[in-house]
Structure 1
Amino acid sequence: MGWRLTFQTMSLLMLMVMSALVKNQAQARQIFNIDDFGAVGDGKTDSSKALYNAWNRACHSKGTSVVLIPRRTYLLGPVLLVGPCNGAIELQIEGGLRAFHSPQLGIDHWITFRYIDRLTIAGGLLDGQGAASWPYNDCSKNPHCKALPVTMRFDFVTNAWIHDLTSLNSKNAHFNLFACREVTFERVTIKAPKDSPNTDGIHMALSSNIFIRDSSIATGDDCGSLGPGSTNINMTGITCGPGHGISIGSLGGSPNEQPVTQVFLGSSNFTGTLNAMRIKTRAPSYQGIVSDITFQDIIVQNANNPIIVDQHYCPYKKCSAQSSQVKISDVRFRNIRGTSSSLVAVNINCSPAVPCTGIELRDINLEYDGRGGKTSSACANAKGAAYGRQNPPSCLEK
C-alpha cells in the first residue's frame, strides 16, 4: 500500500512537472502576428500602427516574444520601437517591409530600436525605396540640408543578433548603431547602386563588441564606417563592392571624441571599390586617437585606393591649412593582395603635427590593374616597419 501510494505520488509529481514545463515553454515563446493587429500585407496599406501595437504587446509580455511579419509585403512608415522589454524579443520577417516612396525629408529614421536588451531580427527584406530621396541628398553642398531616413537605427541596444536579412535601396545609411554593445550582424545582404549618395552599409559610433560576419555589402558609400568610440570591432567574411570600402572615420570633427581601438577586419574581399581599407581624419581637427587596428588576409580587385590613410580629409573643401590632431598608431596591414586601379596602391599620408607610428606592412602584393606601369607607395609622416613581400616597395620611415 505504501509502495502504491509512493508510485501514485511520483506519477502525480511527474504530471505536474510536465504540465509546468509545457506552460513555461508556452510562456517562453509567444508569437504576435501583425495581421492580428490590423496589418494588411498588400504593399499599399500603411501597417505602422499595427507593428507598433504588436511590438508593445510583445515587449510587455514575459518570456521570449516574437513579432511576426508574415510572407507578404507590408508598407511601413517611420516607427520607433522602444524598450526595455520584459524578456527577449524577436522581429521575425518572413515577408518584407516597404518604406514610403516619398523622400521623407527631415525624418532621420525608418525603423528605430531603442533601449532594448536581447533583440533578434531574423530574415526577410527591408525595401527602403531610396531612389525618391537620393536627389535631395545635398548635404555636401547645402549646410541647411534636411535629414533623410536611415533604414534601421539601433540606439542603446545590447545583446542583439541581426541575421539573414536583406536591406535594399536605403534612403540614407542602411544600418546605424549608436551606444550599442554586443551586437552581431551575420549573413546580412545590403544592396544599393554605386551612385546612390550616403547609403553606407553599417555605420557605428560609441559602440563596443560589434561583430559583422559573412555578409555582402554593395552601396554608394562606405560598406562599413566606424565613428568615434568604436571599440572591439570584429569583421570577417565581408564582400564589399561597389562602395567606398571599410572606413575608420572621418574623425576629429568634434571635441572630446572617444578613441577608435581594437578593430579587426579579416578574410574579406573588395571588388571595384573606391577604397578598400581606409582611415581618415579631418584637417584641421580636434584631438583624437586611433590605435590597435588590423587588416588581414584581404583580397582587393580593381580598387582605386587599396590601402589609404588620409589625415588631410576635408569634406567641404573649405578647410584651413592646419594639421590633424588625431594620433594614429599600431595599424597593421597583413597579407593584402590583388589589383589596384591606380598606380599608388599604398598611400599613407599622416599628420605632420602627430605622425603615425607603429605602422606595419607585411606581405603586400598589389599589382596595377591597367596597361603598363607598376604600383608604387606614398608615405608622409609615417613610421613603422615592413616584412615579407612588398609590392609596391615600402615607403615607411623606420
Structure 2
Amino acid sequence: MTTPVGTTRLIVQLLGIIIACFLTINGVESNPSDAVFDIINYGAKTEPKFDNAQAIIKAWKAACDSAGPAKVVIPAGDFMAGEVVFAGPCKSPTTTVEIQGHLFANIDPSTYTGGSWILFQRVDNVVMTGGGTINGEGKHDWKYANGDSLLAVSLRLEEVGHGKVNNLKFVDSMGYHIEVMGSHDIDLQKLTITAPGDSPFTDGVHLTGNTNVNVTDSVIGTGDDCVSIGHGNQNIMVARIICGPGHGICVGNLGKHADEKDLKGVTISNCTLTGTTNGARIKTYHDSVPITASDIIFQDIQMNDVQNPIIIDQHYNSSTTTTQSKVKIMNARFMNIRGSSASAVAVSLNCSSSAPCEGIELADIDLVPAGSTGPLTSACSNAKTVLKGTQNPPGPANCV
C-alpha cells in the first residue's frame, strides 16, 4: 500500500522532533547547520599509546577558520591526548567542541609546558559539551604536587568571551579541574567533577580575574575546594552545587601576590555541602597587598557534617609571620545557613587587626552538632557584625 505524501512528511517531521528531544535529554547540543570536523578525519586513533593532540588541534584549526558555525567532534571511544591548545580568535562566529567519548590525558607531566592540558585561549562564542568524560589521570602525578608548583589544569579558559561548558564529566585532574582566567560572560553548568578526597590541589572550579561567570547545577567532589573564587572577580554566581568531599566553597585565597585586584560581587546560593572540611569560607593571606573583597553573599546553604560551616580566616598560612592581612572584607552576608557542624566552633570570624571586617551579617543561622560534637559556639575577632533572625549557636556581637 502506498503511503500518502502528506503522511510521509508528517512522519519525517515527528521523527525529527523525537531525535531532537533525545539529544536534548541526553545533554548534547546539536545544531544541524554546524560544519562538522571529526577528529578521526584528521588522524585520530583509539590506540591506547597514540597521542591525539595534533589531530584534535588540526580539527580545531579547520573549524576555527570556517566561515560559518563549526563543530569539532571527539566521537565515542577512548582517545589519549597530551597538551591541546584551542587558540583564537576564530573566523567562525560560534565554535563547539563536542566530546562524546572518553578523553584521557598523557601521563607524562613533561608534556604540559603551559600549565594546562586543554586550553581555550582568546576565543569568543565557544561551547564545550557532548556528554563525554575528561580524565586527567592525576593519580600518576599527584605525588609531585605542592603549593608552589601546581600540576596541569585539565581545562583552562583564558581571555574567553561568551563561553559555555556543560554536560561533561571531569575525573582525576592533575591540578585544578577547571580554571577560568581573565574571561567574561562564562557559563559552567551541569558538570560532574570527581577526584579522591585526598588528592592535592584538585579544585573543581577556580576563578581569577573574571566578569560575569555562572557556575551552576553541578556535582563536585575533590581533594580541595569545590569552587574557589580568587582575586579580581566581579559579578560571580555559584548556585545549586552539591559539594563533597573537599574543602567547601571558598572566596580566596586573596592577597598572596603583589599584582592582585579587588574582588566585588559574589553570590553563592542553594548549595549542599556534605562532609567537607569547610563550608562557607572567605580566606586571605597574612602578609598581603591592600585590596578589598566586598559584596559577598552566602545564602540558603545546607551543611551536613561540615567542619567550620561559616568561617572568615584572615590568617591563612600564618605560621611563618605575624604580619596582618591588608585585605579589607566588607559587606559579607551569611543568610539561611542550616544543618550540622562537625566542629564545636561553628561560626568563626577571624579577621585582620590591620583591616578589620566591616558589615558582616549573620541572618537565620541554624546549626546543630553532628554526632557528639558540641555544644556549638561562635568566635570573633576584629569584625563589625549585624545579627538578624535565628542565631543558633548565638552569633558573635561586634568584636572590633
Equivalence for 1:39: 44
Q: Distance in 1 between matches of 2:112 and 2:75?
A: 30
Q: Distance in 1 between matches of 2:153 and 2:386?
A: 41
Structure 1 contact 103–130 (Cα < 8 Å) conserved: no
Structure 1 residue 102: deviation in Å?
3.1
Structure 1 contact 43–98 (Cα < 8 Å) conserved: no
Q: Structure 1 residues 106, 79: CA separation in 2 closer, same or farther (over 3 Å shift)?
A: closer
Equivalence for 2:271: 268
- Output the aligned Cα RMSD: 1.5
Tell me the alpha carbon deviations over residues 158-194 of structure 1, each in whole angstroms, 9 at most, x when there is no partner: 1011111110000010011110100001101100000
Equivalence for 1:16: none
**How do residues 132-171 of structure 1 correspond to structure 2 at under 5 angstroms?**
132-139=140-147, 145=149, 147-171=150-174
SS of aligned partner of 1:42: coil
Q: Distance in 1 between matches of 2:98 and 2:112?
A: 29
Q: Structure 1 residues 71, 208: CA separation in 2 closer, same or farther (over 3 Å shift)?
A: same
Q: Distance in 2 between matches of 1:69 and 1:105?
A: 21
SS of aligned partner of 1:275: coil
In the alignment, does 2:340 pair up with 1:339?
Answer: yes
Structure 1 residue 43: deviation in Å?
3.5
**How do residues 25-174 of structure 1 correspond to structure 2 at under 5 angstroms?**
28-86=33-91, 87-104=93-110, 107=113, 108-122=115-129, 123-139=131-147, 145=149, 147-174=150-177
Structure 1 residue 41: deviation in Å?
2.1
SS of aligned partner of 2:56: helix
SS of aligned partner of 2:398: coil
Equivalence for 1:376: 377
Q: Match for 1:312: what amino acid?
A: H
Q: Match for 1:371: what amino acid?
A: S
State the number of aligned residues.
366
- The two structures have a TM-score, normalised by structure 2, of 0.89
Q: Distance in 1 between matches of 2:100 and 2:44?
A: 14
Structure 1 residue 254: deviation in Å?
2.2
Q: Match for 2:135: what amino acid?
A: D
Equivalence for 1:14: none
Structure 2 contact 83–111 (Cα < 8 Å) conserved: no
Q: Match for 1:339: what amino acid?
A: S
Q: Distance in 2 between matches of 1:129 and 1:211?
A: 27
Structure 2 contact 83–116 (Cα < 8 Å) conserved: yes
Q: Distance in 2 between matches of 1:294 and 1:65?
A: 39
Q: Distance in 1 between matches of 2:56 and 2:352?
A: 50
**How do residues 233-244 of structure 1 correspond to structure 2 at under 5 angstroms?**
233-244=236-247
Q: Distance in 1 between matches of 2:292 and 2:48?
A: 47
Structure 2 contact 216–240 (Cα < 8 Å) conserved: yes
Q: Distance in 1 between matches of 2:262 and 2:309?
A: 24
Q: Distance in 1 between matches of 2:340 and 2:226?
A: 19
Equivalence for 1:387: 388
Which structure has the bigger radius of gyration? Answer: 1
Match of 1:277 among 272, 277, 280: 280
Identity over aligned pairs, percent: 40
Unaligned runs of 5+ in 2: 1-30
Q: Match for 2:375: what amino acid?
A: K
Unaligned runs of 5+ in 1: 1-25
Structure 1 contact 90–121 (Cα < 8 Å) conserved: yes
Q: Distance in 1 between matches of 2:373 and 2:64?
A: 62
Structure 1 contact 27–62 (Cα < 8 Å) conserved: no
Structure 1 contact 230–259 (Cα < 8 Å) conserved: yes
Equivalence for 1:7: none
